[in-house]
Amino acid sequence: MSTSTSTRHGAVAAEWTKLSSVRSTWWTALAGLLVMAASAGQLAIYAANDNTNDDPTDDRGIVTVGSVLIDSVELTQYVVLALGLLAITAEFTSGTIRTTLQCTPSRGRVLLAKAAVAGAVTFALGLLLGGVGALIARPVLGEWGSAPAADTIGDIVAVATYLALIGVLALGLGAALRSAVLTLTVLLATLMIVPLSLQEPDIDVLNRIADVFPGVAGGHFLAGDTEPYPRLVGLLLLAGWAAAALLLGRAALRRRDA
C-alpha cells in the first residue's frame, strides 16, 4: 500500500472515529428514525384516507410504499443532513479543526475523508430509514398500498443515495460557511424556499430554473421522472451540487486561517 493510499485511509478512519465517538451522532440517527416513522405513518394514513373519505374527487387509488417513502424524505432530510453539517461545524465551534489540520494538513484530503464518512453514514442510515418507513407504511396503507419488492428496494436505495448526497452537500457548505445556523439557513433556502418561490407563479422559465436546484433535481431523481429531464440527470445535478459545495469548502479551508 502506498503512503498516499494509507494516509487517505488513515484520514477516513480518523473521521469515522470522530463522528462515532460523539453521542449527538447517534441521537441524530435516532431522531431521523423517529421523524421517518412519523412521516411515513402519517402520509400513509392520508393516502388511505383519501380513498375512503366521502369525497370521491381526491381518490388516489392504490399507492406504492416507495412513493410514501419518497414524500417522507422531504422532512426527514433536514434531520439526516445534520450529520454532514455537524461533522465540520462542530470542529469550528470546539476548535478541534486546528488539531484536524495539524494531523492532515491537506485541506482537500480532510474534506474528502469527511465526505466519505458522512456520505457512507447517511447512505447506511438512509437504507435503515427506508426499511423502517416501508415497514410502517405498508400495514397502514392496507388494501390501498402496494409494495412490489424490486421497486420498493429500488426506492429505498434511491432514498439512501439522495440522503448521502444531501449530507455531503451540507458538509461542503458547512466547511465554507463555518456556522451551523448559517449553513442550515442556506440549505433550507436552497432545498426548499427558493425553488418553491420560483415554482409558485408557474411561469415556464422560472420552473426551468427551479428544476436545477438540488432538492428539486433530487426529487425528480427519486420520483423516477422522465420530465423535465431523465432520472439520471436529476441524480447528476444533485451530485454536481454536492461536488461544488465540497470544492467551495476546500477553497475556504485553504484560504482562511484556521
Partner 1 sequence: MITLRGLTKRFGSTVAVDALTVDIAPGRVTGFLGPNGAGKSTTMRMILGLDRPTAGQALVGGRAYRELRRPLHEVGALLDARAIHPARSGRAHLRAMAHSNGIPTRRVDEVLDTVGLDGRAAAKPGRTLSLGMGQRLGIAGALLGDPPVLMFDEPVNGLDPDGVRWVRQLMRSLADEGRTIFVSSHLMSEMQLTADQLVVIGRGRLLADEPIGEVIARSTVAVRVRSPHPDGLAALAARLTAAGASVEAADRNELTVTGATADQVGDLAHELGVRLHELSAHAASLEQAFMELTADSVEYAGGPTGGGAR
Amino acid found at 100: T
| Residue with Cβ nearer partner 1 (21 or 57) | 21
Residue in the structure block whose three cell numbers are 431522531: 31
| Residue with Cβ nearer partner 1 (46 or 92) | 92
| Residue with Cβ nearer partner 1 (113 or 216) | 113
Least CB distance to partner 1 at residue 88 (A): 12
- Please give the Cα distance from 253 to 249 (Å, whole number): 6
- Within 68-110, strands assigned E span none
Judged by DSSP in three states, 189 sits in helix
Please, what's the b/e burial string for 6-19 (b: 16 or more CB within 10 A of its CB; e: otherwise)? ebbeebbebbbebb
Size of the site for partner 1 (CB under 8 A): 32
User: What is the x/- site pattern for partner 1, positions 98-137, by CB under 8 A?
Assistant: xxxxxxxxx-------------------------------
Q: Is 152 in the site for partner 1 (CB under 8 A)?
A: no
CA nearest to 172, candidates 248, 236, 86, 251: 248
Helices (H) and strands (E) in the chain, counts: 11, 2
Name the strand (E) or helix (H) holding 118.
helix 107-141
Least CB distance to partner 1 at residue 200 (A): 41
Burial label for 251, CB within 10 Å (0-12, 13-18, 19+), is: middle
For the chain, report the end-to-end CA distance as a whole number of angstroms.
Answer: 31
| Residue with Cβ nearer partner 1 (52 or 94) | 94
Name the strand (E) or helix (H) holding 231.
helix 231-255
Q: Is 5 in the site for partner 1 (CB under 8 A)?
A: no
| Residue with Cβ nearer partner 1 (96 or 179) | 96
Only segment of 63-71, 90-98, 117-125, 196-204 that touches partner 1 (CB under 8 A): 90-98
- Please give the Cα distance from 169 to 136 (Å, whole number): 29
Least CB distance to partner 1 at residue 11 (A): 5
**What is the number of other CB atoms lying within 10 angstroms of the CB of residue 38?**
15
User: What is the x/- site pattern for partner 1, positions 216-255, by CB under 8 A?
Assistant: ---------------------------------------x
| Residue with Cβ nearer partner 1 (7 or 199) | 7
| Binders of partner 1 in range 8-37 (CB under 8 A) | 10-11, 13-15, 17-18, 21-24
Q: Is 258 in the site for partner 1 (CB under 8 A)?
A: yes
Which of 54, 56, 57, 95 touches partner 1 by CB under 8 A? 95
Contacting residues toward partner 1, per CB under 8 A: 3-4, 6-7, 10-11, 13-15, 17-18, 21-24, 90-91, 94-96, 98-106, 255, 257-258
